[in-house]
């Protein structure tokens, strides 16, 4: 059913994607409440929003009891550490927010009659044996590997969301987010683009794992947020891939970032981490069908130019503060 989205809770709203979503929601005229324990989110991501009359922030761990006064039209559950560096550093927290946090968010959605949009991930497909990956593909995941804490937390979150939809009639949406980049990513994120930018701007060797032939599909955050907004307002229930279907190798991305930054860095190679996906590319046919022909509009090259300025400023500030 269609509904007007006016008052929204964003869990993890101080994170990379969450903070971009908050801005979009405010632009759409929504009142935005953010709960974030700042484990990986940063106040600097939302600092400029704190004075907005329709924005409220609460430092809170959403794995605890979740309560909001008044009416609520939607909950966007984006709370979770999400970078490879976090898989080893914060495994229990990832599992807890994917399970307990999702349970609390769904309970609140049920109590308020709110629509819940779950931030899921392409990691649900694991190291896929099908390329590109459609929503109908069940994946190839190692549940006890290092990456399993994130993969299985999100797969469980999807299962719980659909259970609440079927059993309690909670109005639910699920976005499977593919590799996304842009301003407000963490410097030490552990993902390819932040790593490459940090190393290139500093003039350090750029680390490529394996031979760099493994592929990813990089979507600029502005396009992702547009897709999420459309998904929040559409009638489709169930997972929808949102990402850029243009596939490229990680070695190719490293070379592009060297070019964008004008760096003299050289590329060095390290062993491939366990269970690192060899391919990652979304089939976005469903998104085109149910999200009014949504597709990425910002090219990778343009997105990298925009992102470069952010990383240069962040690294300059970091150097100054030392």
Exposure on the CB side of residue 48, measured as CA atoms within 13 A = 7
Q: SS3 breakdown of the chain: % helix, strand, coil, rounded to 5?
A: 40, 20, 40
Between CA 103 and CA 56 the distance in angstroms is 23
CB atoms within 10 A of CB 317: 12
- Contact at 8 Å (CB) between 80 and 136? no
Write down the pLDDT at residue 2.
Answer: 64
| E strand spans, the chain | 7-11, 31-36, 55-59, 74-77, 115-121, 172-177, 180-181, 206-209, 215-216, 219-220, 239-242, 248-249, 267-270
Flag whether 110 is in a domain.
Answer: yes
Flag whether 291 is in a domain.
Answer: yes
CATH of the domain at 92: 3.40.50.720
- For 181, phi then psi, to 5°, come to -140, 165
Q: For the chain, what is the domain count?
A: 1
Flag whether 251 is in a domain.
Answer: no
pLDDT tens sequence for the chain (322 residues): 467 999 999 999 999 999 999 999 999 999 999 999 999 999 999 999 999 999 999 999 999 999 999 999 999 999 999 999 999 999 999 999 999 999 999 999 999 999 999 999 999 999 999 999 999 999 999 999 999 999 999 999 999 999 999 999 999 999 999 999 999 999 888 899 999 999 999 999 999 999 999 999 999 999 999 999 999 999 999 999 999 999 999 999 999 999 999 999 999 999 998 888 999 999 999 999 999 999 999 999 999 999 999 999 999 988 787 7
Flag whether 259 is in a domain.
Answer: no
Between CA 222 and CA 12 the distance in angstroms is 18
Flag whether 111 is in a domain.
Answer: yes
Interstrand relation of 215-216 and 248-249 (parallel, antiparallel or unpaired): antiparallel
N residues, the chain: 322
**CA dihedral defined by 67, 68, 72, 76, rounded to 10 degrees?**
-70
Flag whether 203 is in a domain.
Answer: no
DSSP code of 282? Answer: B
Flag whether 61 is in a domain.
Answer: yes
Sign of CA dihedral 205, 16, 211, 243: negative
Q: Select which of 150, 164, 209, 269 is catalytic.
A: 150
Write down the pLDDT at residue 246.
Answer: 97
Give the residue numbers spanning the domain of 77: 7-184+219-245+279-298
Residue 60 bears catalytic tag: no
Which residues are bridge partners to 74 per DSSP?
A: 8, 115
Phi-psi region of 201 (alpha: psi -120 to 50; beta: other; left: phi over 0): alpha
Flag whether 163 is in a domain.
Answer: yes
């Amino acid at each position: 059913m269609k509904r007007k989205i006016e008052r929204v809770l964003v869990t993890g709203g101080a994170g990379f994607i969450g903070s971009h979503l908050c801005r979009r929601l405010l632009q759409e005229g929504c009142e935005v409440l953010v709960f974030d324990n700042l484990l990986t989110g940063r106040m600097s991501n939302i600092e400029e929003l704190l004075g907005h009359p329709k924005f409220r922030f609460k430092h809170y761990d959403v794995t605890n009891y979740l309560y909001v006064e008044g009416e609520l039209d939607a909950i966007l559950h984006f709370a979770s550490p999400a970078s490879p560096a976090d898989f080893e550093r914060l495994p229990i927290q990832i599992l807890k927010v994917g399970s307990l946090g999702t349970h609390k968010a769904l309970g609140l959605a049920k109590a308020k009659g709110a629509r819940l949009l779950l931030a899921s991930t392409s990691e649900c497909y694991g190291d896929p044996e099908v390329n590109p990956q459609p929503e109908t593909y069940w994946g190839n995941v190692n549940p006890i590997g290092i990456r399993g804490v994130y993969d299985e937390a999100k797969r469980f979150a999807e299962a719980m969301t659909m259970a609440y939809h079927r059993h309690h009639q909670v109005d639910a949406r699920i976005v499977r987010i593919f590799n996304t980049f842009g301003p407000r990513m963490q410097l030490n994120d552990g993902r390819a683009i932040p790593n490459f930018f940090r190393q290139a701007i500093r003039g350090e060797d750029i680390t490529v794992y394996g031979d760099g032939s493994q592929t990813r599909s990089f979507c600029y955050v502005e396009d992702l947020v547009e897709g999420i907004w459309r998904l929040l307002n559409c009638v489709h229930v169930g997972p929808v891939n949102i990402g850029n279907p243009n596939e490229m190798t990680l070695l190719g991305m490293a070379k592009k970032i060297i070019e964008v930054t004008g760096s003299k860095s050289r590329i060095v190679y390290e062993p491939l981490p366990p269970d690192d996906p060899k391919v990652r590319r979304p089939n976005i046919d469903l998104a085109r069908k149910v999200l009014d022909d949504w597709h990425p509009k910002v090219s990778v090259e343009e997105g990298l130019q925009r992102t470069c300025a952010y990383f240069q400023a962040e690294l300059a500030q970091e150097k100054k503060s030392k």
